[in-house]
Amino acid sequence: MIEFYGARLARFIFAGWILTASFASSAAAQEKPVIVGGTLGLTGIFSEASADYKAVYDLWLSQVNKKGGLLGRPVAMTIYNDESSPTVAQTLYNRLLDQDKVDLVLAPFSTLVGGAIVPLVRSHNKLLFNGGFPAINVFKNSKGWMIGSYTYQEPDYTRGLFDLVKSLPANERPKRLAIVTAQNPFPLVIRDGVAGQGGTLNHAKEAGIPVVLNEQYPPNTTDFTGLVQKAKSANADMLLVLGLPNDTLQIARTVHQLGFKPAIFCTCAAQVTTLASWDKLGSAAEGAFGSISAWPTQDNNGLAELTALFKGRGQNAPTTFAIASYVILQVLEQAVQGANTLDQDKLREYILKSEFNTAAGTFRYQEDGTPVFSQIVLQFLKGKNEIVWPENLRTASPVVSAQ
């Protein structure tokens, strides 16, 4: 059973929704539920991605309660709408932690919103189960008190793409790179890396590809004509867009409208090629590259069920966000059952020394709370995404065409 409630707790709390489910037995129903809490941007700029998270939360909650819940107790979820706002999220996490007394804490979607609540969760000595955003610097500072489900962090977002480029015959490799980056901490780390390690600029240098354009744009930009025209005028044959979903979609439209045809066009930060909105771009979507942590052609734990859910929603495959949200719930479930406790210190200790079998594959955690690196590069070809890297998982050969 799913219940929604819309009482305004304050001007900025739009609505909350509490998920519950039919419990496995009448005995279980009498137990105090384990409460999993967090927020999502169900309205605002992150509403499309947050809708994927909500659908996955519904799926997992139903599954876990059909199996008897956690520790013999039913599971409920308290998820508030943070309106895609960091300040709203901070207020709601204070409520979750101080008033609702949730047992387990989920991160919101996006680095912008999530970064604002990390100190709050840590101050309450709670683990943050983070399926909402990559943030390598925040992970390092959290020292294992934030557990992630993205199998690659910002410095490695373009790593797979450059590995693909280096595998191409010399005459097919791009020779002039243009990078356009949103003025936002998340994509800037994708571009620059951390402490000289990783990052698009370093990957390009290692691949021997000169950067002919390296431009930033303000987060409120809506017209990208001038920016795309600069990349076109620089004769770039590789264009990497390091932005958020909405602006990346608009840049893709602009690239098409201006007749700019780089050999490689990558939506490398927003990973939008798996979103329903990407299909709606029509011919502007064709040929674009993106990345993801798993694909339905793999036989990973729970991936078939996740794929079925999204096909039921009219999508061919789960989105990046769907996989990340499902994986963090799988890790949470396996950790609680494996450690046989809700004690946060014991859960952290168990997670950092254990192996997890998830929709993103089987992996272990590093000391900073991030999974070991794993990535799939997709290309949108003939109206659908195909795996083009790594070669052992390839479902189609990459199409790299010169201008």
Question: Residues 165-179: pLDDT tens digits?
Answer: 999 999 999 999 999
pLDDT digits (tens, 9 = 90+) for 383-396: 999 999 999 999 99
Over residues 53-66, the mean pLDDT reads 98
**Which residues, other chains included, contact 35 with Cβ-Cβ below 8 Å and sequence gap of 6+?**
75, 76, 77, 78, 100, 101, 102, 103, 104
- Band (pLDDT 50/70/90 cuts) for residue 59 is very high
Q: Check whether 275 has a pLDDT greater than 90.
A: no
pLDDT digits (tens, 9 = 90+) for 279-318: 899 999 999 999 999 999 999 999 999 999 999 998 889 9
Candidate CATH numbers 3.40.50.920, 1.20.1250.20, 3.40.50.2300, 3.40.50.12280; the one for domain 155-292+376-393: 3.40.50.2300
Over residues 337-345, the mean pLDDT reads 98
Q: Report the SS3 class of residue 117.
A: helix
pTM of the entire predicted model: 0.87
**Which residues, other chains included, contact 291 with Cβ-Cβ below 8 Å and sequence gap of 6+?**
152, 157, 160, 161, 268, 271, 320, 375, 376, 377, 378
CB 20 within 8 Å of CB 1:
yes
Q: Domain 2-151+299-364, CATH 3.40.50.2300 — does that match?
A: yes
Query: Where along the chain do the CATH 3.40.50.2300 domains lie?
Result: 2-151+299-364, 155-292+376-393
pLDDT digits (tens, 9 = 90+) for 183-235: 988 999 999 999 999 999 999 999 999 999 999 999 889 999 999 999 999 99
- Band (pLDDT 50/70/90 cuts) for residue 402 is low
Q: Check whether 15 has a pLDDT greater than 50.
A: no
pLDDT value of residue 401: 74
Amino acid sitting at position 99: Q
pLDDT digits (tens, 9 = 90+) for 360-372: 999 999 999 999 9
